[in-house]
Amino acid sequence: MKFEMLIQNVFVLFVISVIMESCVMAIFSLTALKDTYETRPVQIARDTIIVLLAVALCYKVDIFSLFKGTGIHLHKYLDTAISALLLVRLTNLVGDFFNKLRRG
């Protein structure tokens, strides 16, 4: 297994998670949605958008595959699912970090 390739793939997913979180925050920071941002249905919609976007990106773009070039051979769907779950988790971590920065 090529550990440095795995770290590089995780870093690529981290960069994409920052971009995804910034895009989702831009959508939900519109003036019309600012009052409802903390409600549960809006959080569910936000999480659903992130999950669907992560699955679509990991399925369509080969560079977002977590195990590509590492020597670990998994079925494409399993690799896509693991990569998408990691991307969702990283996006949530970045989102929590941004929220803490906004609140002070």
pLDDT digits (tens, 9 = 90+) for 31-61: 666 666 677 888 888 899 999 999 999 999 9
Full domain range(s) for residue 93: 3-103
Residue 86 corresponds to which tokens in the numbers above? 């990691």
Using H for helix, E for strand and C for coil, what is the string for 7-67? HHHHHHHHHHHHHHHHHHHHHHCCHHHCCCCCCHHHHHHHHHHHHHHHHHHHHHCHHHCCC
Of 21-25, 39-43, 68-72, 89-93, which gets the smallest average pLDDT? 39-43
Residue 12 corresponds to which tokens in the numbers above? 């690529």
Residue 54 contacts residue 88 (beta carbons within 8 Å): yes
Count up the domains in the chain and report the number: 1
pTM equals 0.86
Give the pLDDT mean for 74-94: 93
